[in-house]
């Protein structure tokens, strides 16, 4: 695997698979980490690292989020009770109220992680431990799916098979990827039903919670902690969004 291979692989990801610059960036980071680990462990010489001469590109993206009225339209949208559309909508709303959980963490939530008031779980991405007190809206959703005909005895939301081995990274990654694709597909249907023009995906629930939290006066350090961010600079983008909203609000005095 040399520099030419890296460039060829980048072209394959972009042209053959149609991946965006940031998706390519994510994949290349994993490969670069393998080289760095091999060098640290003395498995290979640093002179053979192709990433020394390769720059991983990243594009700035606009963080899409829902306004309060848009989120309420998602909440109010009517679907067949206990259907997949109903479930995926509720999971989205749950996360928009509960620290902006990532889809991977939401899918993995087990009944043993919930004590009736809060959830206590290990973050899939960072492996850190997080404890979040559930607001009333989220508690109502948990209770709804606890008594649903298709409820899970093991998980808060009936997506994963009861027999899944959460300690098997290959099996878990496959289930997370497949479930996420299905949820995001249904979220497009849900957005249309709620008359929302934005390209809805599960991650927008995370952005929505962050902007809502800052608007409601929760300090940025607490928002960062509840989102499981490794550094507060990851959270500052949301503070910038809220500040830009305030700047636009002040423009009314120019009319």
Nearest alpha-carbon partner for 108 in 66, 150, 169: 169
The residues that bridge with 119 in the sheet, in sequence order, are: 114, 132
Q: What pLDDT digit, counting tens, does each position of 145-163 carry? A: 999 999 999 999 999 999 9
- Residue 252: the pLDDT is 63
- Hey, what are 143's tokens? 């209770």
Query: What structural domains and CATH numbers belong to the chain?
Result: 3-53 (no CATH), 68-250 (1.10.443.10)
Rounded mean pLDDT, 74-91: 97
3-state secondary structure of 7: helix
Of the CA atoms within 13 Å of residue 21, those in its CB half-sphere come to: 7
Q: What pLDDT digit, counting tens, does each position of 101-159 carry? A: 999 999 999 999 999 999 999 888 778 888 999 999 999 999 999 999 999 999 999 99
* The pLDDT of residue 214 is above 90: no
Q: What pLDDT digit, counting tens, does each position of 15-48 carry? A: 988 888 888 888 899 999 999 999 999 999 999 9
Of the pLDDT bands very low, low, confident and very high (cuts 50, 70, 90), residue 242 is confident
50 sits in which H/E element: none
d(CA 213, CA 11): 40
* The pLDDT of residue 179 is above 70: yes
d(CA 104, CA 108): 6
* The pLDDT of residue 96 is above 80: yes
- Residue 82: the pLDDT is 97
């Amino acid at each position: 695997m040399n520099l030419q291979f890296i460039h060829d692989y980048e072209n394959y990801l972009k042209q053959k698979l149609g991946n965006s610059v940031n998706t390519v960036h994510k994949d290349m980071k994993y490969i670069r980490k393998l080289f760095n680990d091999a060098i640290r462990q003395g498995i290979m010489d640093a002179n053979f690292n192709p990433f020394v001469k390769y720059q991983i590109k990243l594009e700035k993206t606009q963080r899409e989020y829902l306004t309060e009225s848009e989120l309420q339209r998602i909440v109010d949208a009517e679907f067949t009770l206990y259907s997949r559309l109903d479930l995926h909508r509720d999971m989205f709303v749950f996360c928009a109220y509960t620290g902006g959980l990532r889809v991977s963490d939401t899918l993995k939530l087990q009944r043993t992680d919930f004590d009736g008031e809060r959830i206590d779980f290990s973050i899939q991405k960072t492996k850190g431990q997080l404890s979040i007190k559930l607001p009333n809206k989220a508690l109502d959703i948990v209770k709804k799916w606890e008594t649903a005909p298709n409820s899970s005895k093991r998980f808060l939301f009936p997506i994963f098979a009861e027999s899944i081995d959460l300690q098997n990274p290959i099996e878990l990654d496959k289930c997370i990827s497949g479930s996420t694709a299905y949820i995001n597909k249904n979220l497009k249907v849900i957005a249309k039903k709620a008359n929302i023009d934005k390209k809805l995906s599960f991650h927008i629930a995370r952005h929505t919670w962050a902007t809502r939290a800052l608007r409601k006066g929760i300090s940025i350090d607490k928002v960062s902690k509840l989102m499981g961010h490794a550094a507060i600079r990851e959270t500052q983008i949301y503070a910038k969004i809220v500040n830009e909203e305030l700047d636009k609000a002040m423009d009314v005095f120019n009319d």
